[in-house]
């Protein structure tokens, strides 16, 4: 069973959001999701400067098993993307909550985080799923 750090907020579609000290939000996929996908071989990310609304498709993660859309957990402007994943997509598998992050947002309304699952609620979603 995968553990989700308690400071993260998550979507039922397995994206996580972490509010950073500078007010920005880092986004990635959960340990559960990377495990279900298998070996990640490619990640397509949004462009810097792109505005995303909560729930918008922001990219795609591809593995040896499947391709899965990436959704933005909150609304905001993309201020950084993880270029390291271009050459090392396996970082998503190795460190999904650290070096395997996808992109960072300057949120339009940080309060949107309150509308998504906390780590315990997300774990309940994972417990109900089978892959």
Higher-confidence residue of 82 and 127: namely: 82
Mean pLDDT (whole number) for 94-98:
96
- Take residue 114 and report the two structure tokens written for it: 């309150």
Place of tokens 């905001």: 76
- Take residue 22 and report the two structure tokens written for it: 């500078």
β-strand partners of 26 = 18, 104
- Please list, in sequence order, all residues whose beta carbon lies within 8 angstroms of the beta carbon of residue 97, skipping any fewer than 6 positions away: 4, 5, 8, 16, 18, 28, 30, 31
pLDDT(1) > 70? no
Mean pLDDT of the chain: 95
* Spatial separation of the C-alpha atoms in residues 44 and 35, rounded to whole Å: 18
pLDDT(130) > 80? no
The predicted structure's pLDDT at residue 129: 83
* Spatial separation of the C-alpha atoms in residues 110 and 75, rounded to whole Å: 8
Mean pLDDT (whole number) for 77-89:
97
- Take residue 65 and report the two structure tokens written for it: 């098993």
Q: What is the pLDDT of residues 27-50, one digit of tens each?
A: 999 999 999 999 999 999 999 999
Residue among 88, 41, 89 nearest 66 (CA): 41
- Please list, in sequence order, all residues whose beta carbon lies within 8 angstroms of the beta carbon of residue 31, skipping any fewer than 6 positions away: 2, 3, 4, 96, 97
- Take residue 77 and report the two structure tokens written for it: 């402007």
- Band (pLDDT 50/70/90 cuts) for residue 131 is low
- Take residue 111 and report the two structure tokens written for it: 């309060």
């Amino acid at each position: 069973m995968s553990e989700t750090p308690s400071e993260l907020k998550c979507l039922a579609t397995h994206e996580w959001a972490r509010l950073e000290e500078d007010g920005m939000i880092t986004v990635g996929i959960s340990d559960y999701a990377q495990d279900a996908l298998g070996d990640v071989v490619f990640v397509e990310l949004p462009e810097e400067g792109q505005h995303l609304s909560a729930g918008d498709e922001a990219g795609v993660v591809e593995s040896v098993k499947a391709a899965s859309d990436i959704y933005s957990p909150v609304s905001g402007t993309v201020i950084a993307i993880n270029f390291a994943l271009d050459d090392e997509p396996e970082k998503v598998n190795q460190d999904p909550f650290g070096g395997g992050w996808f992109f960072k947002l300057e949120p339009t309304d940080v309060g949107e985080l309150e509308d998504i699952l906390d780590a315990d609620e997300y774990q309940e979603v994972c417990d109900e799923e089978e892959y």
